[in-house]
Structure formats: structure tokens, C-alpha cells
Structure 1
Amino acid sequence: MTSTATRSEVVDEFAGWLAEFLPHDYYERYRQYRWDIPLRRDYQRAAFEAGWLQPTWPREHGGRSLDLRDAMEIRIEAALRSAPKLPNIQGPGVAAPGIRQFGTPAQIERLLVPLLRGDEWWALGMSEPEAGSDFAGLRTRAERDGDVFRVNGHKIWTTQAHESRWCTLYARTDPDAPKHRGISCLILDLTAPGVNIEPIRMSSISDETFCEVFLDDVEVPADNLLGPENGGWNVAMSSLHHERQMIWIMNWVEIKRGLDSVRHAKSDGDNEDLYTELGSLLADAEALRATGYRTLGNELAGRPSPEGDIMKLLGSVTLQRVWELAAAAQGPRSASDPDLLFERQDALAATIYGGTSEVQRNIIAERLLGLPKG
């Protein structure tokens, strides 16, 4: 958190607003409130109306037209204060930036405010069974037929699709084009005929259920094309840029929370290896934070920022290591701690969502280090 001497007035204003919004016993009963969907819905709506939801955007879109630095400080402040998690986080975090940047005036007018207020939930139709996080390898097809696209295919790991009204669906519209250039983004109504959604049984407690989405000759109006036809790659990359900014802050705060639990754990005897690993993770946490600020500096200066690809990998791997160390610090008692079990299971997803660690390593090797493709 920024020190009192350097905190901007707008961050102080946000902190006061948040304190006023939260229930008086929020921190004492945080384990219960973190699952409280009505509270989280109310928080999203209130944050939209107060201009804290998308701080850099104008008031009509849930913001205050703030600069990138203040916006990041507000997001960090929210994370440090354990502000309620948005109930459909990929809507404001990924779908909304794509709609605002690439949508037609009619699409923005109809879709953006209900999304930002949380009145309509969104899913992301990206991953596929035989492609996983290899986005360019998707096989779902969308063929133009007059005023509609006919879509056939299969999506997987589509979070909250069974509770969502809309989906940004990525499909191949030009099978003869290079893999990255033949993809389009369609706004899919998940209630349309031919859409079949099957939730995937989860092994841990979660309100972000994965789903499979089967598409059988689904008709999508051509007016629901988001961005140019065959331009879906750019829509996806731009949208995911916003997600990556959100992920590093979330991971950093969760890492700090995990490290605090390690330091306060009553381990059985001294364990030199435990302290060595703790020191390493403390350094990694600070490296993640410093890299986040360096990325912001590059963005403000209009420079390329390759650190963004590194942050996702560093943050997700460090988060898993932290909670495994927390279990080691507790020793045998960790087996009977349901909260710790949840944290360990939840951290496993960190190396999958937003791009798997394997894909991130390939990106770093090929794009940053210039190594040949395997």
C-alpha cells in the first residue's frame, strides 16, 4: 500500500467510501462474507454508481476519468482491504473493455451498462477441449449465411456460462487464413436455440463453476460481430490485457496474505528450509509488485511492456508456492484446516486462468527471448 505521505486524495476518498459501504462486522466475519453473492452484487452496483468500478472510464461507464496511476492505486487499495470480489469478474474485467473498444454504438448502448452494473452476466468462449489455452488452435466454426453466422463447436472451462446471459464467443470464420487471422468474436446469446451448457463438477468449494458449452447450428446475428470479421485475435488480446493487470494485483495481495499466515504459523520446531523458502517468496512478492509498477511506467511512457507476460507466470507460480509453504509451516495440523485446504486448492487454478503457465513460458521464450518454436 502507498504510504500516508504519498497517498492521493482520490485513494483516500475510495478508502472512506469502501469503509462506509462494508458491513460493520465485515472483517470479523470475512470467511462468511466472501461467499455472500447479494453483498457482492450490491458492491458492484454501488461501485459502478460511485465511479470506482472502472476508474479510468467516464461516469456513465462506472468511472471518474482518472489517470492510470490513480486507477492502479485504487485497485491495490481495494485488494488490500479485501473488498468484495465481483460476482462475475470476467464481465467487467474482460468483456466490458472489449465491448467498449470494439463495439458498435448500438452494442455499447444495449450491453455495456447492464454488464457493468452486474444486471447481466457474461462468459468468455475461448478455450476448447483440443486447444486448451492455445487460443489460435480453436476449431469452433462460424459460417456466414446472409444476416447470420451459423456456429458449430465446443467450448470448455467457460466460467459461469450456466449463470450468464451473454458470451464473447471466438470462432473460426476463415479456415484458410493463418491461425491468428481467421478468428472472429461474436456476441452470443446463451439462451439461443442450439446452445447446450453443462456445468463441470468441481472438486473444491467455488462459486465460479466451469462449464462446457456445446454449439449445434446456433444462429448468431451478423450484427453481433464484435470488431471486424476475422479480427478476433486483436479483440481477444486487447481484452486480456485488462485481465492481466487485474490478475497481478489479485495474486500479489493473495501472496501477501499467504505469507502472513506462514509468519504467524506455530510450526513444530525450527525448520531452516522453511525460512529459506519464506525469504525467497518474500523477494518474489516484492519483485512482482515492482514489476507491476514498471509495467505501469512503460504504459504511461508509451513504451512496450514485455514485463506483462512475465508477471502472470511469476504471480501464479509464487501464489501456489506460498500456500504450500503455509501448509508445511502448520505441519500435520494443516490436514484438518478447511480454510487452508481451500486456499491450496484455489491456488491451483492460478496457473490455468488467464493463460496456463505452459503457454506463458512459450510466449516468454518465443516473443521475449527470441528462441525458436519447438
Structure 2
Amino acid sequence: MRKTSARLLALLSLLQARREWPGALLAERLDVSPRTVRRDVDRLRELGYPVAAVKGPDGGYRLGAGTELPPLLFDDDQAVALAVALQTAAMTGAGIEEAAARALTTVRQVLPARLRHRIDALRITAVDRPGNGLAPQADTEVLLALSTAVRARETLRFDYRAPDHAPASRPGTPPPPRRAEPHHLVTWGGRWYLVAWDLDREDWRTFRVDRLTPRIPTGPRFTPRELPGGDVTAYVATRFRGAHHPDSAPDWPCRGEVVLHRPAPEVAGFAHDGVVEELAPDRCRLTLGSWSWPSLAALIGRFDADFEIVGPPELSAAFARLGRRYAQAAARSTPGTPGPPHRPGTSDAHADTP
């Protein structure tokens, strides 16, 4: 027969594996009497585990949620997954980095050596776009408040801070609180966003959580509306790719095609969600998308290779605009070098800019 401590761990592992266990089946699995099972259940309760008795012909037990956090039992895969998740917590922007680091230290201390080596071999660093710094963090309490409102389907009232570069609508007068029906809390590019139906604008909106301050109390409950397309991932991808109509396909609004004078393997590693087709050892066809035609032209230019434009005409026009813009900038930076002749009636003042 197992020692009491080992038997308690085995009993706890069984209780975590399924919702309910008949007492007789637990006794059989542990190779003890039903009376011993009852005593071991009482010991687990003394340690803080909320083991509830289940009524029925055979009787049984269920591990429930308690008011305190008792010691936890994980298998090897669960322990490794937990440690990896704690290391990646710095990338969520949820303001829990310090708590995650302390939790990781606690988990690491109790890991067997074979698992500790696996965790120590993994090092993850949160890196945002160069020159942009890490994305602004969302307040943990705000995230919890928004998540609660989403789950309870309660209307939100909140103050929303405009970007620093945006002009104030009425100087000296704070804007009225926004009202919205919260549907999803999502992350994108290291930032947290709330996807909600804006009651004042009668349209779907995505709000940056780091600019949002909920007001208390929340409003009345609501019946959830159907998100355009029915899929929050596709909807958010559509909005952030620049398609402003909620029914637009989750694709880039501008997509073009060129033939690059570079080998396909060299291009494929930097094409992101583009499509690369090999045409010859030193040439490939690249189909790529972006949120504007000038932005797409600039993305293609970064491959630093000669190319031919396949289409569409909007992409050719964007290259022409950027070419004039770059030539003028180069001329202005070189004293005594005249810029390209300006044709009357032409201007880039209203051209799309990335």
C-alpha cells in the first residue's frame, strides 16, 4: 500500500482528471478501502482543497473551486506549458509582467531538475517594431472590468482618450462618455483592443484599451448583435488592414503583382503573407498586399532589386508618385542640384501616403 502522502497526491491527480468520481471507483484505483478514501478526502480538505461529496446511489466526490489557492499538482507537460506561458506574459501588454516573473520563480523552484533544464533553455524577449518602443500597457483592472462586462453582456460607459496628435473637438471641454455594447477583448500587435457596438455612432468600433477608462456602474444588459462575418479574428484583421466597411473581405484593400529580379528563396523569407512564385533561378513573381498603393510600392522597393510591374494600374501610378517624391527629396538634399521639371497642372499634394 502506498504511503499516505503519495496516496494523497494520487487521489488529487485523479480528482483533477475528471469532473466526478464514484467513491468505489476511487477506492479501486487507489487499491484502498472506501473508508480510507473518505479519510484521505478529509485530509485534502484540511489542506485547502474544496472536495465536495456527490449524492447518489454510489456516492462520489468532485473537486470544486474554493476561496483560497491550495497547492496545485501538474504533470510534466502542464508544468512546462505553465512556465512557457509565464515567460510570454511580457508580450501581452496586460501589466502583469512583475507578477508573472514572481510566479515563474515559484514554479521553477519546485520543478524537477529534468524539467528545470528544459525551462532554462527557453528565453523569450518581447520586441516591438524598431524605434516604436514597447506597446502601451493596458491596466490589469481595466482588462478585468472589460472582460466582466463582455461576459455579463452589460453596456459600458467609458471615457476615451484621443491620440496625442488628434485635435480636441472643444478646447477646455471634456468629451462626453462613450456608450458601447462590449463583445470581444482581443490583442493585436502587442496592444489590447475592445471590439464593441458603438451606441452613439450605431456602428462597430475597436477601442484601444490603454486609452479607455470605464465608468461605474455599467449600464443595462443587452442582447449581443452578430459580429460582421461572425468571426472576431477575421473582423479585426479586416479593420487593421484598412478595409473600413465591416462586410469587407478580410484581405488587404490594395494588392499588386510584380516580377522581382531576385531568387524566390531570398524573397520568401521577407514576404510575410505575400505569395512568391519561382520563375527562374534569379527571378520570381511576388503578389503582395497593403493598406494603400504607395505603401505597397514602398514595401516592394525594400527588396532592393530591379522588377517589372504586372499590375494593377494603381500600383504603377503609386510607383510614379513615389519616384517623383524621392527624386525631389534627393535634389533638395544636394545643394546646387536642380530638381526635376514640374509640369503645370500636376501635383502630389493629394496623393495617398503610407
Structure index of larger Rg = 2
Same-fold call, TM cutoff 0.5: no
Normalised by the length of structure 2, the TM-score is: 0.24
- Relative to its length, the structure with more strand (as a share) is 2
- Relative to its length, the structure with more helix (as a share) is 1
